[in-house]
Structure formats: C-alpha cells, structure tokens
Structure 1
Amino acid sequence: MSLSVRAAPQQGDCRGFEVGHIVRGRFGDVPLDGLCYALVYAWPGAIYEGNGEMQAIVDERADGQQREALTTVLHGGETEEARTHWWVFHAMSGTVHEPLFRPIDFTVDIERRRADVTIPGVLTSTGRPIVSPATGEEHRVRIDIPDGIEFELAEIGRASTTADGAISLALDDSYGQFNILRHSGTGVVH
C-alpha cells in the first residue's frame, strides 16, 4: 500500500514523494514483509526532461540485506528497462542522494483516501479526500491504468507535505494518490 504526492509542473518544476508499507514482498530470498520505504524526488521541469534528483529512505528496522534490497528496488535496479516508475525516476535523476535509514511512521486507508506519514527530521505528510468547493462533500476520483508502470488503480486525493532533507518539499493541498503496488522485476504484476 502506498501514498504518492506530486506537485504537477504548473510552476515549472515537479516535486513529490511516495511512501509505502510492504504487506508481503521479497527481493530474491530476502523477505521484506512489514517494512516501510519512502522516495523523495524533484525535477526542474517535467520528469521526462530529466536532470532530477532523488533520495530513498528505508525503514530503520531493515537489516543489512533488506536495506540493500530496498535501495536496489527503489533505484530501479534489477528491473527491465522502463518497466517500473522507480526505474524511470532513477533514469531521469542526475543526482541520486545516499539513502537514509530512518523510522517511518505510516498509516493509510486507501478506501477512505486518508494517510499520515512522519519520518522524523525528514518528512511529514497528511493525505485526505478531495472535497467539492460547492457542496463540501467528499469526491471519489480514480485513475485506472491497466498497462501502466506504477499501479493499476489509484484513488485520488490531496495532501500537504513538508520535507527538509536533501530534497525540500513545501506542498500545500497538492495532488495525492492512494494505491496498491504489485511489482516484480518485469513491471506491474497484473
């Protein structure tokens, strides 16, 4: 399960992050169940224009093998070319900051479009549903991408995020998505 927050390049740049909790997963023989991860990124324009920067943050509870495995995954390593968003983000980033190993406090309710994440000294974010300015009621909007490189179905919401690490973020009421990721080295598992 994950939360992704991105500010669209309406003002020239594209900045955001994603955070996830691995319910069940492995990298080769390395179990990853129960661990969290985050990825913070920024590009001076649209992602496909490149010249971006990124930083992986891995759950401090991970042992050495798990840290190496998650860093490899988040950098798109051992993935077929352009088959996951992590591969694309890494390929479009000229600067890849050293990974951090920190506690990650993350809760998400995809159905209700709500999430909270705290990575002490690095990032805080709150995700919530889109609300109609006319009625004050919550909207439910989904993106369905059957052949995408990130997810199949995402619930769309809004989020506010601050990050003070190698990549700073100050996103207020920006785009947020809530989804389940199912990936392998060949891309999204359908």
Structure 2
Amino acid sequence: MEWHWIADYLQTCNCDYGCPCNFDAPPTTGFCEGTGVWHIRMGNLESVKLDGLNCGFAAHWPKAIHLGGGTVAIYIDERANVAQRDALIKIMSGQAGGAPFSILAATFSKILDPVFVPMDVSVAGEHSSYKIGSVVRSVMEAITNPVTKEPHFADVDLPTGFIFTKAAVYNNKECWVKDRDLNFNHPNKNAHLAVVNYNHG
C-alpha cells in the first residue's frame, strides 16, 4: 500500500540519555519500555488524508527490541474519521508495509486493541510534551549539566536510522503509562524530538 507522512516525532523511554538502542547496544537496564507519538503535518494512505492527526504507542520489550517478545498499545487520535482510523491502524500495525512500522511489528508478540482517544501533543523544543487520554503522559525538558546546572543540548545523528535520522536529546521529566498490560514510570531518562519523513510504495 502506498503511504507517506511528514511528522513531528516525540519519544520517551527508560534508557539513559541518547538511548543505547540507537547504537545497536543493549538497553540500559536490559529491557525496553517507552512511548512515542507522531503529529502528522502532512500525510496520506493512498487517497485517505491524514494531515493534522496524531497517533502513538506505548510498548514493553523484555530484552533488546530486536530480540522480540514485545507488547504494544496503539493509540489513534479520536478526531480521525472511520477511513482515517482504518488507515492509521493499517500503517501502525505494519499491514501497509514500510519502515518503521513493518520492522517494529515483527518485534511484538502481543498487540493490544487500538484505542481512540484525545491526544494532546505540544511540539516546543525542550518544552515538548504529550498526553494520551488518561493512560500516557510524557513531558520533556533540557538535560541539566551536573556541574554548572546550565541546560545541556545534544543531538543524535543516525544516517541509516529507520525511525528517525536526527533527533534532539532531552530529559523526560515525566514518562508514565497505565494501560492494560502496560504499567511503568521512568522519569529523568531519555527523550527524543525529531521531524520524520516516511515513504512507502
């Protein structure tokens, strides 16, 4: 299926700053838990327009992501109409093909039923945040230099990255999930903000 989107991507997880998973290394604590959202600036699945919509996820992997066995919850903007909901589910579940979703789908052994919820996404640099209904909350802030106490800014550059190729690195002031099989809280760990451009077909 042919689809494309340009989106702001916000992500928080339980790894230390930069996230070793970005460099094909094991997760900081041996397992991975995280959340993410895409605010679609412009996008479509074939003739279905997705401009302005949000979608997101919360996930747990018992080991490194590529080793599989993960559990994921998929969240769809409640503003989406029936056709848009169907399109976003097809893309995010990997059914539509194309990176990053078809790659990530192979790492999940349990995919929870999609939920249609209010999604509040604020893209504002180190002050970015997102709230998914009453089940997910992430708030970013600049990393603080432990010596000078000044804000510390850094980027991750991944020329062959399949989720993003360049992202800012921030502190996640808040990162929690309370939804069905997923329940975690990982403040003061890694956060990313990126602009992504996905194409398939």
DSSP 3-state at the match of 1:134 = coil
| 1:1-60 CA-partner distances (Å, limit 9, x unpaired) | 121112233323100011121111111100001111111111011101110011110000
| Cα drift, residue 115 of structure 1 | 1.2
Q: What's the CA shift string for 1:132-166, capped at 9, x where partnerless?
A: 01111111111111222111210011112111112
Alignment partner, residue 171 of structure 2: 158
1:100 Cα deviation after fit: 0.3
Match of 2:150 among 137, 143, 150: 137
Counterpart position of 1:119: 132
Structure 1 runs of 4+ with >3 Å offset = none
AA aligned opposite 1:161: C
Residue by residue over 1:64-121, the C-alpha shift from the partner in whole angstroms, topping out at 9 and shown as x without a partner, is 11001111111122224xxx23222210000000100000011012xx3221211222
Q: Is the 2:13–2:175 Cα contact (8 Å) retained in structure 1?
A: no
* In 1: Cα distance, 2:121 partner to 2:50 partner: 16
Tell me, yes or no, if the aligned pair for 2:95 and 2:102 is still in contact at 8 Å. yes
The TM-score normalised by the length of structure 2 is: 0.85
- Percent identical residues: 27
2:12 paired residue among 5, 24, 29 = 5
Matched, 1:97 2:112: yes
Query: Does the residue aligned with 2:96 lie in a helix, a strand or coil?
Result: coil
Q: Which amino acid aligns with 1:69?
A: A
Q: TM-score, normalised by structure 1?
A: 0.90
Structure 1: 5+ residue stretches without partners: none
Name which of 21, 39, 47 aligns with 1:29: 47
Secondary structure of 2:104's aligned partner: helix
Structure 2 SS opposite 1:48? helix
Q: Identify the structure with bigger relative contact order (alpha carbons < 8 Å, sequence gap 6+).
A: 2
Distance 1:174 1:87 in 2: 27
Q: How many residues align?
A: 181
- The answer on whether the counterparts of 1:145 and 1:152 sit within 8 Å (CA) in structure 2 is yes
